[in-house]
């Protein structure tokens, strides 16, 4: 039997990359999937891919940094499918690579608004519903940059460390209410975000794989599906004792 039959799952930032792979994976396990992103064409494409595979999904555009958008997003999930069992807060941006003293206030604010405030607002709305419903599971997508530093990416690093902190606090506050909150910390993953960082870091001289493969002990970057598999497991009943965990999925990167 599929792991998420008759369950409803919300995935933010699911127009591409890890979010899309996660949405597709949940749908394959029987979930009703609420796909959300600011990229409407990409989000609708994710929904079309789920429908093509005989899955169930809907799209709702939402800016996770806007409290009204977030409230409407969670309300739509509940109205359409009758509840919200799991949520994956994945929406995020990387911003600009620059030395600490050259980082602009605008870049800092944009990253913190989407990555940290977005996760905070989504968790608030999701937890409020899960409290009324009697429980649920939330997975936040942090990063290895939420565990260690990366020169040139100070606002991004700060935002992802903050997500780890929010995850731990929410997990402690709501564990007894049967709401499990955990986070995953991807390393180099074959996504558009990693391509953007490689372009900035090498001025196009190297691809993301050329730049990042040698940095991972496993000898390669990861795939979005490899991250999605962990997220899906954390939301399942198989991970019933996982609470407040911040888990690297990084080919050994932070073990070095």
Instruction: Give the chain's count of helices (H) and strands (E).
Output: 9, 7
Per-residue pLDDT tens digits for 126-142: 999 999 999 999 999 99
Question: What integer best gives the mean pLDDT of the chain?
Answer: 95
Residue ranges of alpha helices (H) inside 188-253 are 192-202, 208-212, 224-235
Where in the chain are the domains? 8-187+222-247
**pTM higher than the cut 0.85:** yes
Q: Among all residues, which ones are annotated catalytic?
A: 156
Q: Measured at the alpha carbon of residue 246, what is the angle toward residues 214 and 236, in degrees to the nearest 5?
A: 110
At residue 229, the pLDDT reads 98
Per-residue pLDDT tens digits for 46-86: 999 999 999 999 999 999 999 999 999 999 999 999 999 99
Range 208-216 average pLDDT: 84
> Cα separations (Å) of 173 from 45, 116, 133, 210?
37, 18, 16, 43
Domain 8-187+222-247 has CATH 3.40.50.720: yes
Whether residue 42 is predicted with pLDDT greater than 80 in this model: the reply is yes
């Amino acid at each position: 039997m599929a792991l998420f039959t008759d369950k409803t799952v919300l995935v933010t930032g699911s127009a591409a990359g890890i979010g899309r792979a996660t949405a597709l994976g949940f749908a394959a396990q029987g979930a009703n999937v609420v796909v959300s992103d600011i990229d409407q064409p990409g989000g609708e494409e994710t929904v079309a891919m789920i429908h093509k595979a005989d899955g169930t999904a809907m799209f709702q555009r939402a800016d996770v940094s806007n409290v009204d958008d977030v409230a409407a997003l969670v309300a739509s999930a509940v109205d359409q499918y009758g509840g919200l069992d799991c949520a994956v807060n994945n929406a995020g941006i990387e911003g600009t690579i620059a030395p600490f003293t050259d980082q602009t206030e605008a870049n800092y604010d944009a990253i913190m608004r989407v990555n940290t405030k977005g996760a905070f607002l989504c968790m608030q709305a999701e937890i409020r519903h899960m409290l009324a419903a009697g429980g649920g599971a939330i997975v936040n997508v942090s990063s290895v940059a939420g565990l260690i530093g990366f020169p040139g990416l100070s606002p991004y690093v700060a935002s992802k460390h903050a997500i780890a902190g929010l995850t731990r606090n929410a997990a402690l506050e709501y564990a007894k209410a049967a709401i499990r909150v955990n986070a995953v910390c991807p390393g180099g993953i074959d996504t558009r975000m990693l391509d953007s960082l490689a372009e900035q870091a090498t001025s196009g001289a190297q691809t993301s794989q050329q730049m990042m493969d040698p940095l991972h002990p496993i000898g390669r970057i990861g795939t979005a599906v490899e991250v999605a598999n962990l997220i899906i497991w954390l939301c399942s009943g198989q991970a019933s004792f996982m609470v407040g965990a911040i888990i690297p999925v990084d080919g050994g990167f932070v073990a070095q």
